[in-house]
Amino acid sequence: MALTRTETIDPAAVQRRSVVLLSAAQLLSGIGNGATLAIGSLLAVQLSGSEAWAGSVTTVLTLAAAVAALPLAGLAERRGRRIGLVTGLLAAMFGALLVIVAATAGSFVLLLLGGALLGLGSAANLQARFAAVDLAEPEHRGRDLSTVVWSITVGAVAGPNLIQPGAAVGQALGLPATAGPFIFSVAGLLLASGLLLAGLRPDPLLLARRLGGAEPDGGAPSPRRRSLSLGLKAVRSSPMSLLALAAVVAAHGIMVSIMSMTPLHLQQLVEGSLTGHHGTHHVGTDALTIIGFTISLHIAGMFALSPLMGWLTDKTGRLPTIALGYVLLIGAACVAGFGQHEPVAVTAGLVILGLGWSAATIAGSTLLAESVPQEQRVTVQGVSDTLMGAAGAVGGGFSGVLLAWLGYPGLNLAAGLLAGVVIAAVLFRMVRKQPAAAA
């Protein structure tokens, strides 16, 4: 019988424990991502000697997350959520160690390799939100998912603010100041991996399958179910799903392009205001403090209000919330771009940028899931994560070039123009839906 080994297990209790464990792991692993986002561009400029490479760490991180999304999802299907998530987090831990070695040895190549491994941790963090609903009751799925998404806020916000203490720890250990914060990243990722490896038992995905009788114990689903081509075919079957995917992917690319270059801009702004000129590669104490605070607030904007964005998605509708997100993205580009000479304005722009990303991503992901058949949703979600990572990689890569060519205002202008194209498509779809609803 399929339920012989599970009939004494309380699925509700397993679900509650799984949500707590996933939330705790997100909190701990978020420290690693926060440090990378805050000073990755600074390290890239220091080790490469050129501002044109400023977005390289963000690029390889997001590209690696995109490439790893489907393989990690396939591993989870074969071995369970626990193995899939732990694999990604352990790879990220080794990535953080490589960043420390790169900063110490002055190796740009090792920095890029470390950034790529950190991207596997980002892919695992994205997939943790799906693990939160494997055993959830239908009426609690949104609550459980948003709890896990929200929990990353604490770690991700704390990460950038550990830059200064991390620099002090690093210098005490004879390491460069920019390598020190990654000591906390290694510790956080190690603890998160151990927590899931020891505590996520029984595995929520495998237990859900056994309880549902969908697959025999030990059964491995066909790899075709995770096929990128099949996922894209499912998306193309519905104009609404295409719009939802475009909204999610473009929002991520816009957010990464502005966010990844802001630390470098703030460094130049703060150091320039102190020394009277720009272009120095020295990272001073005041610059590190302001950068850490700004990225912390940006990440808070991305995740802290996710339950509110979910509520708006349900109450006002998917398309209006996506439109709100893009209005915020355009506003962020205007505030940061026009306020480029004021750290307060740049910080405000980054907060608005995070809020816009949150609204567009949550509403867009919800619309995407609703616009494809039930049996294709998991594959389409994997495709969405892959394309989000690819958009982030492209945004991070081109943002360094745009910053070098057009400056910080030009970068924001380009991002704002892309947001304008998407919001026009969303508004067009909203106008077309209204006559249909009236009829």
pLDDT digits (tens, 9 = 90+) for 118-157: 989 988 988 887 777 777 675 565 567 677 777 776 666 6
The closest alpha carbon to 329, from 248, 268, 401, 269, belongs to 248
C-alpha span between 330 and 39 (Å, rounded): 25
In this prediction, residues 266-283 reach a mean pLDDT of: 56
Q: Flag whether pLDDT at 283 surpasses 60.
A: no
The closest alpha carbon to 135, from 291, 230, 18, 238, belongs to 18
The closest alpha carbon to 41, from 344, 436, 395, 420, belongs to 395
Residue 235 confidence (pLDDT):
79
The whole-model pTM stands at 0.70
Residue 341 confidence (pLDDT):
86
C-alpha span between 3 and 363 (Å, rounded): 37
Token representation of residue 209? 């399958």
Cβ proximity of 141 and 366 under 8 Å = no
C-alpha span between 223 and 208 (Å, rounded): 19
Residue 102 confidence (pLDDT):
93
Taking each helix axis from N to C terminus, what angle separates 81-105 and 204-212, rounded to the nearest 10 degrees?
A: 160
Q: Flag whether pLDDT at 355 surpasses 90.
A: yes
Residue 281 confidence (pLDDT):
42
Sign of the C-alpha dihedral computed for residues 246, 247, 248 and 250 taken in this order: positive
- Give all domains of the chain, ordered by start, each with its CATH number: 11-212 (1.20.1250.20), 225-439 (1.20.1250.20)
Q: Flag whether pLDDT at 40 surpasses 70.
A: yes
HSE of 277, CA atoms in CB hemisphere, 13 A: 4
Residue 263: C-alpha distances to residues 180, 295, 345, 393, 407 (Å): 17, 8, 14, 17, 13
Q: How confident is the model at residue 434 (pLDDT cuts 50, 70, 90)?
A: low
In angstroms and rounded to an integer, the radius of gyration of the C-alpha atoms of the chain is 21
Residue range 414-428, pLDDT digits in tens: 999 999 999 999 999
C-alpha span between 267 and 247 (Å, rounded): 31
The closest alpha carbon to 155, from 98, 89, 254, 99, belongs to 89
In this prediction, residues 94-111 reach a mean pLDDT of: 92
Residue 193 confidence (pLDDT):
95
Angle at 364 between CA 358 and CA 370, to 5 degrees: 140
Higher pLDDT: 351 or 372? It is 351
Higher pLDDT: 360 or 72? It is 360
The mean of the pLDDT values for the chain is 80
The region of weakest confidence among 97-111, 283-297, 352-366, 389-403 is 283-297
C-alpha span between 221 and 198 (Å, rounded): 25
Residue 37 confidence (pLDDT):
61
Residue range 223-238, pLDDT digits in tens: 444 456 767 777 777 8
C-alpha span between 83 and 73 (Å, rounded): 10
Residue 126: C-alpha distances to residues 118, 205, 315 (Å): 13, 16, 25
Higher pLDDT: 261 or 426? It is 426
Angle at 110 between CA 58 and CA 120, to 5 degrees: 50
C-alpha span between 374 and 367 (Å, rounded): 13
CB count in 10 Å sphere of residue 378: 18
Cβ proximity of 328 and 359 under 8 Å = yes
Within 8 A by CB and 6+ apart from 211, the residues are: 3, 6, 11
C-alpha span between 218 and 204 (Å, rounded): 14
Q: How confident is the model at residue 390 (pLDDT cuts 50, 70, 90)?
A: confident
3-state SS string over 288-320?
HHHHHHHHHHHHHHHHCCHHHHHHHHHHHCHHH
Residue range 312-348, pLDDT digits in tens: 888 888 899 999 999 999 999 999 999 888 888 999 9
Q: Flag whether pLDDT at 219 surpasses 50.
A: no
Q: Flag whether pLDDT at 278 surpasses 80.
A: no
Residue range 240-250, pLDDT digits in tens: 889 999 999 99
**Burial degree of 215 (CB within 10 A; 0-12, 13-18, 19+):** middle
Q: Flag whether pLDDT at 351 surpasses 90.
A: yes
Q: Flag whether pLDDT at 289 surpasses 50.
A: yes
Higher pLDDT: 98 or 3? It is 98
